[in-house]
Amino acid sequence: MGRRWRLPAGPRPKLVSLRTTFAVSFAAVTAAVTILVGILSYGSAARLVRVDQQSVFTQVVQDVQDEVRQHEMVPEDFSSSRPGHDLVRPARTDVQVLGAQGQIVDHGSPVLPVTVRDKAVATAEAAGRVVQHKDVQVDTDLFRIATISLGDGKGAVQVAQEFSDTEDLLRALQQRTLILMAAVVVAAGLFGWWLARRITRRLVILTSAAEVVARTRQLGIEVPVAGLDEVGRLGRAFDRMLGRLAQSEEDQRRLVQDAGHELRTPLTSLRTNISLLRRIDELPPATREELVADLTQEARELTDLVNELVDLAAGQSDTEPPQRVDLADIAEDVMGLAKRRTGREIVLRTSGDTRTDGRPGMLQRALSNLVENAAKFDRGGKEPIEINIMGPSRPGTVRVEVLDRGPGIAEGDLIRIFDRFYRAADARSLPGSGLGLSIVREVAMAHGGAPFAFRREGGGAVIGFTVGGGV
């Protein structure tokens, strides 16, 4: 065989707990949604505010244009000292009046800059002519400025709107939005951590239980997991799995102990007889015949015991696929085999539907054990062994009975005859290992049924099993 080479082990990846992954994922999704909503909300709000401010300014300029076109107006009409000037000086709007030469005759607050274009508008003959300036820096503030001519070269009026305060308001709104988004992300992270801890707490318990089982190999630990969700189902399934494994381990241990105990007697007898074979030439012919017969009998019993142990193990882990079977057909096969082995007459009676779902090999083994058991305890009997197979009203359930006219079963032995290696006091002189009925029990339970035994009226016993369609 060639030598197997292993690649050098690299650094072990750092384990990340499910709790951390869940919390980070929750926080990341929340952060992405919060940032997206924040950006869209701020953009919409800023756009609406800017559009509203622009609409207000446009409307003010339009009102002034209409005023100077409809009425002959002079710069004094827009003077801040003239009564009623508020009618042409809208709120939150700065107004500055220019004379015929474009000079400032009534300055605004603050004083607005006057460009060459503004002076040209002041000398214009047509009333309502407009020139606009955007993003004009006045001191530390930004303004929109519109210069409207009064007509006939009498001057102009300048209307200005400050929008730097609007931008300051939007920047404050932006900062508050960022703070709020950060707070939401932090809160989402904390809530995600708490929620992940709550959700994964039972998974941590399951993980700890699995690690304890792997480390100590103790299958009898309790898994304290509750709930009706998937984690609860997983916990209950894990608990049932540990119970099945513990039961399987206990069955294996008991089988090995019982098998060792039962094998010790025939092996001791064989060893004793084999030691006598060294002096076989010194033994009289009758003793030789008795020794050989004893060796043959011990070898046969040992072979039967090993075969039954193999059958019992195979019954516990049978991989034969289940299929639709008729127990009446299986019983006829068992009858033919038993007649050839024992020479006894066997009668089969059936009633109802005798079909069920099961593994035919296992069912044949169980029924054959019952018939051979009846023949062994009714040795020399004159009446036939009876097999009754009855299909009750519930579909898929069948009852199998084997009746004999042997010595019967003591009342105290009825509940123990299906235990492994158990043999009643009046049966210990007969050949056998005590595994036949145990195999019957295993087969019945594997098919959703159970074994049964009771004393037969008029003498003898009735031993059988039911199958319920579960495989």
Q: What are the pLDDT digits (tens) for 422-431?
A: 555 454 444 4
Tell me, what's the pLDDT at 314? 59
Task: Report whether pLDDT(381) > 80.
Answer: no
- Residue 145: in which H helix or E strand, if any? strand 141-149
Residue among 18, 16, 15 nearest 196 (CA): 18
pLDDT exceeds cutoff 80 at 143: yes
| Class at the top of the CATH hierarchy for domain 21-169 | alpha beta
DSSP class of residue 282 equals G
Q: What pLDDT was estimated at residue 196? A: 76
Helices (H), 326-470: 327-342, 360-377, 436-446
- The model carries a pTM of 0.45
Confidence tier at 68 by pLDDT (50, 70, 90): confident
Taking a C-beta distance cutoff of 8 angstroms, is the pair 60, 93 a contact?
yes
pLDDT at 439: 79
Contact 349, 327 (CB under 8 A): no
Residue 104 CA to residue 58 CA, distance in Å, equals 23
End-to-end CA distance of the chain: 43
Return residue ranges of the chain for CATH 3.30.565.10. 321-470
pLDDT at residue 355 greater than cutoff 50: yes
Average pLDDT over residues 78-86: 60
CA distance 444 to 468: 9
Judge whether 398 and 354 are in contact, CB under 8 Å. yes
Q: Which residues are CB-contacts of 317 (< 8 A; sequence separation ≥ 6)?
A: none
Beta bridge partners of 388: 349, 401
Q: What share of the chain is helix, strand, coil (3-state, %, to 5)?
A: 55, 15, 30
Q: Given a cut of 80, is residue 132 above it in pLDDT?
A: yes
Structure confidence at residue 422 (pLDDT): 58
Orientation of helix 164-216 relative to helix 230-277, angle to 10°: 20
Tell me the CATH number of domain 321-470, given options 1.20.1510.10, 3.30.565.10, 2.40.30.200, 3.40.50.180: 3.30.565.10
Gyration radius (Cα) of the chain, Å: 52
In angstroms, rounded to a whole number, what is the distance separating the alpha carbons of residues 116 and 131? Answer: 11
- At 244 the pLDDT is 77
pLDDT for residue 401: 92
CA-closest candidate to residue 57, choices 148, 173, 149, 126? 148
Structure tokens at 60: 């003010």
pLDDT class of 348 with cuts at 50, 70, 90: very high
pLDDT at 42 over 60: yes
Percent of the chain with pLDDT over 70: 78
pLDDT of residue 86: 45
| Domain 219-319 coded CATH 3.30.1490.70 | no
List residues bridging with 143 in a β-sheet.
136, 162
Report d(CA 53, CA 48) in Å as an integer.
9
pLDDT at 106: 85
Top-confidence residue, 447 or 140: 447
What are the tokens at 205? 């318990």
Query: DSSP class of residue 430?
Result: S
Domain(s) labelled CATH 1.10.287.130 in the chain stretch across 219-319
In terms of pLDDT, which residue wins out, 169 or 75? 75
CATH 3.30.450 domain range(s) in the chain? 21-169
Residue from 433, 437, 400 nearest 417 by CA: 437
DSSP state of 300: H
- Cα gap 279→372, rounded to integer Å: 38
Q: Which class for 214: exposed (0-12), middle (13-18), buried (19 or more C-beta within 10 A)? A: exposed
DSSP 229: S
Amino acid at 48: L
Confidence band for 250, pLDDT divided at 50, 70 and 90 = confident
Q: What are phi and psi of 152, to 5 degrees?
A: 60, 25
| Percent share of the chain, pLDDT over 90 | 4
Q: Which of 25, 17, 18 is nearest to 188 (CA)?
A: 25
